[in-house]
């Protein structure tokens, strides 16, 4: 199966391409640098179109039509010329109901897709956030993340104004489910869930709180729900030192993702484990770690390497307690709950294979 992704270099496009790589799904990448001939070639060979391309803040209103509705029509016309019935997913916007040029062009795109007769997925997105978002472009959240991370002022006209947020990984999950046929085509407007309602004032205070925790001795914040976890993971990307790459690994046990790296404050990662899974079983000679389970229930065990005494620490969403792991303590962590667990892990310095300081030893 081959996927055509338009707008592949944009905010959502980057996240989708990463996920397609992980899933092993082949795709064609189309953006402003590509030619119409390349577009025709990609369409002739693809089995599914994900149309993310478009502009939000152009230099002129005319660009709204050229980059949104006109491009959508061109793609649909090329598909029609091939005689193929290719499923078509459109990234629209909740602004399609508004009387402005952006909204009008998005509504035109929706109508064109439905009128094409192709198997259609028309999603209206609202205030998407996640790492790699451009400040002063993608959303107010992206601007807040960037400015607070870089000690720049933020402007809030009404702190009680509520915004409906969706997380970019949830968008990508939805798109992948469409590609795999889990989500079926529809003649109705579709929406991504979950949607998180948050006031502007609360979002600003939440990000500032996360920053204060990272630079403190605790390093890890108290996280109350999935929205706060997603905001924290996103902010970490903006607050990390420049120039670092972040690793992600997933297997039958769960996943492990690096989300923050700083020469000054160390490294923060997210460990996800399925029920019953045990990870770890090693010690460090000079590095310190902190574990905090923010979803599910985990048991962390510690044993000083020259003793037989094992200390057990149960962590869950309600307790919000942290486990400090000092040098020369072998340790492991097991998900003892019924659902997937999520644990934040801080380590005192950035991981490197050259200075791993990690030695295998069962607890």
Catalytic residues: 102
Q: What DSSP string runs through 230-274?
A: HHHHHHHHHHSPTT----EEEETTEEEEEEEEETTTEEEEEEEE-
Phi, psi angle pair for 346, to nearest 5° = -105, 140
**CB-CB neighbours of 260 under 10 Å:** 26
Coil vs helix vs strand at 72: helix
Coil vs helix vs strand at 295: strand
CA 140 to CA 150: how far, in whole Å? Answer: 15
Coil vs helix vs strand at 193: coil
Cα→Cα distances 223→111, 126, 292, 317, 320, Å: 42, 24, 10, 8, 8
Closest CA to 5 of 238, 120, 327, 15: 15
Which token pair is 147? 């400015």
CA 139 to CA 133: how far, in whole Å? Answer: 8
- Gyration radius (Cα) of the chain, Å: 23
Q: Residues 6 or more apart from 253 whose CB is under 8 A from it? A: 273, 274, 277, 279
What is the number of residues in the chain? 363
Contact between 288 and 347 (Cβ < 8 Å)? yes
Element of type H or E holding 62? helix 61-64
Which token pair is 275? 């029920």
């Amino acid at each position: 199966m081959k996927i055509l992704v338009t707008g592949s270099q944009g905010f959502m496009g980057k996240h989708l391409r990463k996920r397609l790589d992980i899933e092993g799904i082949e795709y064609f990448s189309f953006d402003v640098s590509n030619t119409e001939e390349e577009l025709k070639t990609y369409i002739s060979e693809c089995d599914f179109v994900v149309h993310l391309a478009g502009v939000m803040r152009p230099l002129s209103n005319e660009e709204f039509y050229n980059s949104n509705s006109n491009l959508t029509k061109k793609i649909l016309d090329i598909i029609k010329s091939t005689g193929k019935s290719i499923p078509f997913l459109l990234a629209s916007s909740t602004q399609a109901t508004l009387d402005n040029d952006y909204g009008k062009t998005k509504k035109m795109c929706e109508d064109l897709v439905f009128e094409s007769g192709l198997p259609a997925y028309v999603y209206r997105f609202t205030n998407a956030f996640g790492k790699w978002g451009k400040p002063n472009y993608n959303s107010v959240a992206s601007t807040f993340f960037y400015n607070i991370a870089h000690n720049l002022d933020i402007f809030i006209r009404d702190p009680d104004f509520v915004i409906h947020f969706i997380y970019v990984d949830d968008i990508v999950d939805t798109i992948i489910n469409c590609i795999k046929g889990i989500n079926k085509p529809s003649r109705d407007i579709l929406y991504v869930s979950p949607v998180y309602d948050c006031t502007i004032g609360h979002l600003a205070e939440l990000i500032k709180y996360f920053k204060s925790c990272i630079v403190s001795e605790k390093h890890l914040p108290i996280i109350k729900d999935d929205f706060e976890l997603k905001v924290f993971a996103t902010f970490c990307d903006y607050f990390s030192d420049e120039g670092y790459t972040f690793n992600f690994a997933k297997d039958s046990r769960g996943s492990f993702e690096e989300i923050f790296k700083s020469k000054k404050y160390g490294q923060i990662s997210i460990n996800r484990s399925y029920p019953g899974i045990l990870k770890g079983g090693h010690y460090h000679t000079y590095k310190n770690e902190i574990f905090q389970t923010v979803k599910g229930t985990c048991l962390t065990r510690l044993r000083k390497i020259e003793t037989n005494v094992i200390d057990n620490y149960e962590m869950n969403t309600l307790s919000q307690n942290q486990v400090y792991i000092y040098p020369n303590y072998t340790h492991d962590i097991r998900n003892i709950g019924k659902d997937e667990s999520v644990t934040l892990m801080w380590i005192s310095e950035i991981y490197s294979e050259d200075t791993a300081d990690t030695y295998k030893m069962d607890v």
